[in-house]
Amino acid sequence: MQPQTLLFHLSGLFPQRLHIVRLGLLLIAMITTSMQLIAQEYFYYYKGKKQPLTLNTDYAYIVAPGSIGDVQQLNAMLNSKAVSTKLNRIEQTRTLKSVDANLPPQGFWGELKLQNKLSSTQYHSYLNQLKGAGFKIASPYFSNAAEKKIGLTQYFYVKIKSANDIALLQKFARDNKAVVVGQNQFMPLWFTLSTTEASTKNALQLANSFYESGLFTYAEPDLMTENDATAPNDPLYASQWGLSNTGLYGGTVGTDVNAEAAWELTKGSRDVIVAVLDEGIEMTHPDLAGNIFGTGFDSESGTSPALVLGNHGTACAGIIGAIQDNNVGVTGVAPNTRLMSVSNSLLGTPLSRQKRADGINWAWMNGASVISNSWGSGVAYAVIDDAIDNALTNGRGGLGTIVVFASGNNNAGVSYPANSNPDIVVVGAMSECGQRKSPTSCDGETTWGSNFGPTLDVVAPGVLMPTTDRQGAGSGYNSGSAIHPGNNGTWLASDFADTNYTTWFNGTSSATPVVAGVAALILSVNPCLTHDEVEDIIEASAQKVGGYAYAVSAGRPNGTWFNQMGYGLVDAEAAVQDALDLLPSKSGFDLFTKDRPFDTGVEPNADTGPMWISEDIWVRRNADGGASHQNPEYKTSSPNAVYVRITNRGRLTSTCANLSLYFTKASTGLVWPTHWSNYFQATSAGSILHGDKINTVSIPEIAPGASYVVEIPWFPPNPSDFDADIHHFCLLSRIESPSDPMFNEQNGVGVSINVKNNNNIAWKNVSVLDEESDGSEAGTAVFIRNVERKESYLALRFFDRGFKENFKIRFFERGGQAIITGDKYFMERLKTAKISGSVKQLDEKTILIYGADAAIGALLVKPKETFLIQLKTKIDLAEGEETVLDVFQQNENTKALEGGERFIIRPGKDQKGLAIIADDKRSTITTYPNPVKDELTVKYTTSTESSVVKISVNALYNTSKQSVLFEGKRQRGDHQEQFNVKSLPKGIYLITIQVDDQVLTERFVIE
């Protein structure tokens, strides 16, 4: 075909673009490439084996020209030859670490539905016409045995053989006119690449070329499938027969998971977290909110919090962990477990496989004990396989996260990824009569069947499953009027009138969370089991239902097995009992973490000093194994590391022990578990997570008298989420073992009591005031809280001598001073308090502390009341010197220490310019109001007749962009400036005043 013939055809599609004749030579090259593609076999490589594909000429994938931003514009450009069925902005996840500087603009991707049937030759010619007409990318669609519609994007994934091969990857990409989009932060050997407008091959061809070169471990194209959720769209639900089958809907009485008997043993544990990798959980649902863990993760954007991208995730979550005995809705299989939302679009989108892998990696790295996956993929990916293997190998501190997958709903062989790894727990669906769900099973649903075959492990109830639905009419599956064709041709009652719930959820999507819930019950009674042991228990305890010919089978060591039912119906009660039977019988070991440097582990600790200064807990901003404590740093590219030292003071080697780590915003008053578990607090940005579990990891065996340091990755919260305070968090570690139980742990009391009584629990509330650490330190925030349920009177004290510690430099003796800026509530209450010692009120919101005898006593604090103070320190220290200031809260009646904070003070690059406040002269910076909306007032003092003053402001995490508010000279004395900040975005800012050679900084929030 001649170029002008192609252009003639193209003119009908794009009448406004007849000027493209000059592209004729380019089209000749494209035709050559197209003919090569037509002649070749369609396939991609998965772990070295060719995976066949068939061309689907009904659709095309495009990246639109830069001028196109909506479907109407695109369809106008396409004329009548094709119609756009999708147009979405390309979102590259933030979990990719940038490698190449010059990346193509992202723009919009779209799916085109061709209006006429084309031959393969015509189809490839049409794709070339699209590229010649200005579309940046035009790629084909395919199909395979599992999926009818598979789109090829511009992306592909490559796993290099070693970390030294990055340069090789970049060169190979350049030679093939591709670009390296980024490096996967969770799996650094994996890279995402993209074709460009200059590429002569599409992503499928390039991936194959990369793999066939022999230079790389894997190379796979990014293929989209239409819908990866395993739940069919049919309305199927009526009641919770799967938990207790009484014969409802004609079912077989007693054919259920024995949930009620299991609940006599356990209803789960809040230390066990089940991640739901799906379309996101509606975390405000009244039947789920109390069991939500943290804020979750959105794998589409690579950021927190998780989003709600569809109905599917909320329905799966309810089956696992809906709250029990709350007089609303339904109950989950493990109603006391915690739910982690990992949101992902189950519709095919560019980079969706990388994003699925990111979601799996993020889940296990952030504490998921179990990952429930009610989704499948029509194409297999090593990038997903590696993520699953990471979870199975590294999750739960090396014991392995339990990964549960749906077998699929095609009434055929087990689908991918369920069939990709023998350590995955593969779940099929069962009818209410104990049959494999098939088009002929008793439920009457003739449109689908549960997948089966050699890799199937167990089955669970999978039809007519009531569960939580997205709230409100018009959201979710329940429209309030649906009916369902029941067994024997009858019709079942309509769906729930309460549209927060549905009886419509079914498929292996609903069976999978049942088994995930059972796994959570198992781990709640025996958290030291490996993932292999949990899988063995689930399989060996399964019920042989349905009258099938279960038999001993090769490669199936956990009892009799049948290819349509696996080992049979999961049995929650028997599985929990088996887990209890595997608990270690021996005791005689005693693990502890020091509360203080001189703690010996005796319970209770007879010392009356502070319990929040553990040196056995410390933070490093990178997992570098360093031994000194640093303030945590917010970053998305890599985690901080928390280190906890554990010592065995017993006579036997320890076994079966885990370590749970919690964080909360620091306060002098903290209650267990209120402030440490799913603790949200209202802020100007809404309800923000202030405290929760970080992770639970396994403790290896520790010999008598020996110690072991556990490393736990931690992604601290984003400081911009909070009204005050950059990095200030308390940490709490808890050693959990059936053979080393807690000693007199109480709920609803100040955490200091539990730490004092129990050597399994340690507390760290230590901040480093060191400008060198982040270049911006100007103080920190402290919460003052009442830990009692009644009105209390507190005393705040300031101490520089340590507690049985010998500090070389004492803060106040060196001339150190602390400046406290209180919120309006604190300052109002201060009017009735008793102030004594070295305390001086400087103005309506600022107090100076300049001696160890300083005390603020008789401070009235009401139940659940919280005050916020900002504390700064000023002291002259030489390089290498260090001092300590303790601020603690004491009950005026009992004199007991209720909590406090230690500040380790080191010299920093801004510290040298800070002036000490004397009684007759002070040189400070005060800003108010804080937070501020419109106008910020700044007060400061100059000490010379003609001081050079510069006032500037910059966002805390964008220090390179500095705005100068004032620059000039001021005479000696007090000054006040007012600045309009209405035009600045919301966030945390630093305001800096330079007076001659003196520099002072203050942090403020724009709301």
**435-443 — which CB contacts under 8 Å span 24+ positions?**
435/546, 436/546, 436/564, 436/565, 437/462, 437/463, 438/411, 439/411, 442/250, 442/251, 442/487, 442/488, 443/236, 443/249, 443/486, 443/487
Structure tokens at 865: 């009341």
The Cβ of residue 837 has, within 10 Å, a number of other Cβ atoms equal to: 15
What three-state secondary structure class fits 790?
Answer: coil
Contact 677, 691 (CB under 8 A): yes
Contact 520, 320 (CB under 8 A): yes
**472-478 — which CB contacts under 8 Å span 24+ positions?**
472/499, 472/500, 473/499, 475/311, 475/499, 476/311, 476/314, 476/315, 476/500, 476/502, 477/235, 477/311, 477/315, 477/502, 477/504, 477/505, 478/502, 478/503, 478/504
What three-state secondary structure class fits 965?
Answer: strand
269 tagged catalytic: no
CA distances from 414 to 24, 548, 566, 635, 882 (A): 49, 19, 11, 39, 62
Residues 6+ apart with CB under 8 A from 341: 275, 276, 280, 281, 283, 292, 296, 297, 305, 306, 313, 317
The CA distance from 83 to 295, in Å, is: 39
509 tagged catalytic: yes
HSE value, Cβ hemisphere, 13 Å, CA-based, for 270: 16
The CA distance from 274 to 266, in Å, is: 16
The CA distance from 630 to 640, in Å, is: 10
Would residue 289 be called left, alpha or beta, if left means φ above 0 and alpha means ψ between -120 and 50 degrees?
Answer: alpha
Match 């000194």 to its residue by tokens: 628
CA 998 from centroid of its chain's CA atoms: 43
Which residue in the list 256, 278, 692, 823 is annotated as catalytic?
Answer: 278
The CA distance from 465 to 479, in Å, is: 16
What three-state secondary structure class fits 948?
Answer: strand
With vertex at residue 530, the alpha carbon angle to CA 529 and CA 531, rounded to the nearest 5 degrees, is: 120
The CA distance from 725 to 156, in Å, is: 42
In 352-479, which ranges are continuous DSSP H helix? 352-365, 382-394
Contact 908, 895 (CB under 8 A): no
The CA distance from 527 to 533, in Å, is: 11
Match 């068939």 to its residue by tokens: 54
The CA distance from 492 to 251, in Å, is: 13
541 tagged catalytic: no
Which residue in the list 124, 312, 675, 690 is annotated as catalytic?
Answer: 312
Structure tokens at 154: 């511009």
HSE value, Cβ hemisphere, 13 Å, CA-based, for 57: 13
Structure tokens at 859: 């401070």
Which residue in the list 304, 509, 733, 947 is annotated as catalytic?
Answer: 509
CA distances from 87 to 68, 607, 795, 840 (A): 10, 66, 62, 64
Closest CA to 366 of 756, 625, 642: 642
HSE value, Cβ hemisphere, 13 Å, CA-based, for 44: 29
273-278 and 338-343 strand pairing? parallel
Active centre residues (catalytic): 278, 312, 509
